[in-house]
Structure 1
Amino acid sequence: MTMQPIDVIHTTMSFEEPERIPVIPLIGVYASTITGIPMKDLLIDPRAQSDALLKSMRKFKYDGVLNVMDLTVEAEALGAEVVFPPDELPYINRSPLEEMEDIEDFSLEDSKDSRIPVFVKSTRLLSKAVGDSHLVSSYIIGPFTLAGHLLGVAKLLETTLEDKASVQDFVSSCRSILTPYLNQLIEAGAHNIVILEPTASNSVISPQYFRDFSAPYIQRMITQIHSNGAAATLHICGKTNQIVENMCDTGADVLSIDSAVDLTNAKQTAHERSVLLGNVDTTLLLRGTSTEVKNAAEKCIHDASNGGGFILSSGCDFPIKTPQENLTALLHASSK
């Protein structure tokens, strides 16, 4: 009997070889392109978001669904000024903190007037629709990245040089602030929480800074996720070749890795510790031919699928103008 998509995922997450290679592309707002539902609606309307994501998954038949990746949701709920350009992802225009100490006044305990309920409800709708058959995942910002959003990344990095202990306390507070939202996503039915920590990329900070200012607080988040019965994925954009082992040390069940990472080396480091998810280049998805995409996806499978512990995906969120035939090419590679 053919396995359900979620069973294929569970098999590979047990480091056993499934009957086929599971695939979960990071679709996000690209679902707007697939379905014609306006992008802005996906960011403010939970039903529009879940409908677009479900229609996309059912059309292309992949193994799991993630809600929309929006890196501004939590900071906006805490007072950051966010801009919504037409047909583009929102960005933070002004950080809400002048001093780290002011974070004592911040809380997500009551976030009903923010967009956080949009993402909690979309998770609930996704879980209700396909939670028995597919992996349902929800994003949450990482603590070091939230710290940069609240204080400003440049100021945060400058302060790490001047007062390491205070920055660590600040990042720890950011981690604590996220707890209510994290709990809501799991209660809504997320099987898997994806921690987004792009500011901890080695494209931004050194491996030692990752170990000092990000990893300990991610580890605490993951302990909390596991205690609530969900799995945890750690997604860090860009270069992470030098910290794959440290990422495994956080206890993450899955590492979502970008195309800048050598997948063969990552597999050697992570196997039987953390599942790898990735890592077809999103620029190739946007600009390459379907043959090039298929070849890249097949190389990922060749490099990382032996012995289970691998989910084929994009290296990061799908660009909104990606040709749909390139998504098809990625999926066809997984079915060989």
Structure 2
Amino acid sequence: MGRRYPTYPDKLPTAKKYALDDISRVGELKPLKVKSVPRLWDLVKATKLTLETEPDIYPMTLAVGPVTVVGNIRGVKDLLVDFYDDPESCEKLLTIVTETTLDLIEELAAVGARYIYIADPVASLMSPDFYQDQALPFHKQIYAKMEELGICGRLHMCGNTERILPYSSSSGAKIIDIDHAVDYEKAVSLVEGRCILNGNIDPVADVFSCDAGHTYQAVCNLGRQINRSDCTFMPGCELPTKTNLENLKAIGRALEDLGEA
């Protein structure tokens, strides 16, 4: 079978045709082992290389979350309809992709990984009830596996996830990101100490389209406003690739100064 998507050196692959054109065909799919998926095995090799060459740091390796992987297999638009029309088939598909994610966690643990970052942006499109019923059980499996292997897990979902936070904070993730659309103080009350919160600097207004001084002040202002040991501060979502390096360094300086205050 030919490649279904083009790849690029500076951005994510673009799907031309989704692997599953009908959710009822989910029985045709099987879990994959990470060693048979080059893009996933590269993460394991990169983690191992980093640990060997930089022994004084621990990389936080990225793994794509199960709802987002399912969205890449089925297409997000169709998947959201499937959650209503055929939740049982969606559960089967989530089970399949979660098995591969668990295999990735075990392979990463075997090379010494201690931090894993699960990015599941498609899950942020779900209602609180659908997240609780259909996504949370799989998030719990993933973070339970990390706990078993001594790995600190982090969860990222985009946008305003305030209504999901009471549930996602019970997933077992040690760290949960909040995007700039989330009110930080409200988020603190919603998670009730179940996790460390991480965010919620605006990646565009406060990092990309400004100078380093503005970025530094934005991080410092938020840190002083929240002023809690169970909260950390960084851009709430991914930065544009052409973000000024000096602005990134300003985030580090601000965090160092907040830590010394």
In structure 2, C-alpha distance between the alignment counterparts of 1:172 and 1:234, rounded to whole Å: 18
Equivalence for 1:290: 212
Question: 1:128 is aligned with what amino acid?
Answer: E
- Name the CA shift for 1:225/1:160 in 2 (closer, same or farther; >3 Å): same
Equivalence for 2:76: 153
SS in 2 for 1:276: strand
- Name the CA shift for 1:169/1:110 in 2 (closer, same or farther; >3 Å): closer
C-alpha displacement of 1:305 = 3.6
In structure 2, C-alpha distance between the alignment counterparts of 1:248 and 1:178, rounded to whole Å: 20
Question: 1:252 is aligned with what amino acid?
Answer: A
Matched, 1:323 2:244: yes
Q: Is the 8 A contact 2:60 2:117 kept in 1?
A: yes
Q: Is the 8 A contact 2:26 2:93 kept in 1?
A: no
Identity %: 26
Candidates 129, 132, 136, aligned match of 1:211? 132
- Name the CA shift for 1:110/1:259 in 2 (closer, same or farther; >3 Å): closer
Equivalence for 1:93: 16
Equivalence for 1:199: 122
Candidates 87, 105, 117, aligned match of 2:29? 105
Candidates 184, 188, 207, aligned match of 1:263? 184
Matched, 1:175 2:98: yes
C-alpha displacement of 1:322 = 0.6
Equivalence for 1:122: 46
Deviations 1:38-66 (A, max 9, x none): xxxxxxxxxxxxxxxxxxxxxxxxxxxxx
- Name the CA shift for 1:192/1:104 in 2 (closer, same or farther; >3 Å): farther
- Name the CA shift for 1:253/1:86 in 2 (closer, same or farther; >3 Å): closer
SS in 2 for 1:252: coil
SS in 2 for 1:233: strand
Q: Is the 8 A contact 1:145 1:197 kept in 2?
A: yes
Equivalence for 2:108: 185
Candidates 309, 319, 323, aligned match of 2:230? 309
In structure 2, C-alpha distance between the alignment counterparts of 1:105 and 1:330, rounded to whole Å: 43
In structure 2, C-alpha distance between the alignment counterparts of 1:111 and 1:189, rounded to whole Å: 17
After TM superposition, the structure 1 = structure 2 runs for residues 11-22 of structure 1, keeping only pairs within 5 Å, are: none
Q: Is the 8 A contact 2:159 2:181 kept in 1?
A: yes
Compute the RMSD of aligned alpha carbons: 2.2
C-alpha displacement of 1:138 = 0.9
Can you give the 5+ residue segments of structure 1 that lack an aligned partner in the other structure? 1-78
- Name the CA shift for 1:123/1:110 in 2 (closer, same or farther; >3 Å): closer
Deviations 1:7-49 (A, max 9, x none): xxxxxxxxxxxxxxxxxxxxxxxxxxxxxxxxxxxxxxxxxxx
In structure 1, C-alpha distance between the alignment counterparts of 2:215 and 2:83, rounded to whole Å: 40
Aligned length: 255
C-alpha displacement of 1:85 = 4.0
- Provide runs of 4+ in structure 1 moved above 4 Å: none
Deviations 1:144-194 (A, max 9, x none): 111111111111111112122322232222212322222112222221111
Equivalence for 1:235: 156
C-alpha displacement of 1:104 = 4.6
In structure 2, C-alpha distance between the alignment counterparts of 1:213 and 1:80, rounded to whole Å: 30
TM-score in terms of structure 2 length: 0.88
Q: Is the 8 A contact 2:220 2:254 kept in 1?
A: yes
In structure 2, C-alpha distance between the alignment counterparts of 1:86 and 1:328, rounded to whole Å: 24
Q: Is the 8 A contact 1:267 1:304 kept in 2?
A: no
TM-score in terms of structure 1 length: 0.70
Question: 1:233 is aligned with what amino acid?
Answer: R
- Name the CA shift for 1:122/1:103 in 2 (closer, same or farther; >3 Å): farther
After TM superposition, the structure 1 = structure 2 runs for residues 5-84 of structure 1, keeping only pairs within 5 Å, are: 81-84=4-7
Q: Is the 8 A contact 1:294 1:333 kept in 2?
A: yes
Question: 1:301 is aligned with what amino acid?
Answer: G
- Name the CA shift for 1:103/1:313 in 2 (closer, same or farther; >3 Å): farther
SS in 2 for 1:312: strand
- Name the CA shift for 1:93/1:185 in 2 (closer, same or farther; >3 Å): farther
Can you give the 5+ residue segments of structure 2 that lack an aligned partner in the other structure? none
Question: 2:215 is aligned with what amino acid?
Answer: V
Q: Could you say which structure has the greater relative contact order, defined with CA pairs below 8 angstroms and 6 or more residues apart?
A: 1
